[in-house]
Amino acid sequence: MKKEVAEANATKLIYNGPCVLVTCQRNGRPNVFTVSWNTPVSIVPPIVAISCVKSNYSWEIIRGTKEFTINVPEMDIVDAVFGCGKVSGREVDKFSRFGFGLESGKKVSVPSIKECPGQLECKVIAEPQFGDFSLFVAEVVSAYAEEEKFDTKWILEKAKIINHLGDEVFYSLGIKQSAKLI
């Protein structure tokens, strides 16, 4: 069961620089993409940032809707995490292709991914441009996590949070694994 995470602990959901799945939605059609470049920016209020290339379909959606959800996945779905970064939501329904369950957002209109143990619902407050990327800076308006895996921080003996080393190589607590494209 997921519990609400206190504002003071919300950014701790991404302290370890995990590879995350970011969901967004336009006209009732959800999309998801993989983001390795994400970071907390402020604790009070909780503010985070994700980097997104301007050619990305999700970039178009987030620019228009000004909201997204950061979903923190675990190693058991690493192949789907890798795949979400390799196919475009313009042509593919990634939720169907990768078998993700959807949960309604609590304070945003964006759904979250049921299989991920932690979520940060975000509203964009700034969008600085850097070369071919935008940095979506957003206030966390709601955060929640599976209570057996997150207290005031991740319980790493139970939560197998993913980090990305580049290409198809991911790791979690010393477990290095190469993903395969599914």
Task: Give me the half-sphere count of Cα atoms (radius 13 Å) on the Cβ side of residue 32.
Answer: 27
Q: Residues 36, 42, 44, 50: is their CA dihedral positive or negative?
A: negative
| Segment 103-126 mean pLDDT | 98
Band (13; pLDDT cuts 50, 70, 90): confident
The answer to whether the CB of 81 falls within 8 A of the CB of 36 is no
Calpha distance 146→52 (Å, rounded):
27
The answer to whether the CB of 179 falls within 8 A of the CB of 141 is no
| Segment 118-138 mean pLDDT | 98
| Segment 100-118 mean pLDDT | 98
Boundaries of domain holding 162: 2-178
Predicted confidence (pLDDT) at residue 15 exceeds the cutoff of 90: no
Q: For residues 180 and 86, which has the higher predicted lDDT (pLDDT)?
A: 86
Predicted confidence (pLDDT) at residue 62 exceeds the cutoff of 90: yes
CATH code (residue 19) = 2.30.110.10
Count of domains forming the chain: 1
Q: What is the mean pLDDT of the chain?
A: 94
Calpha distance 114→124 (Å, rounded):
23
Assign 3-class secondary structure to the chain.
Answer: CEEECCHHHHHHHHCCCCCEEEEEEECCEEEEEEECCEEEEECCCCEEEEEEECCCHHHHHHHHHCEEEEEECEHHHHHHHHHHCCCCCCCCCHHHHHCCCEECCCCCCCCEECCCCEEEEEEEEECCEECCEEEEEEEEEEEEEECCCECCCECCCCCCECEEEECCEEEECCEEEECCCC
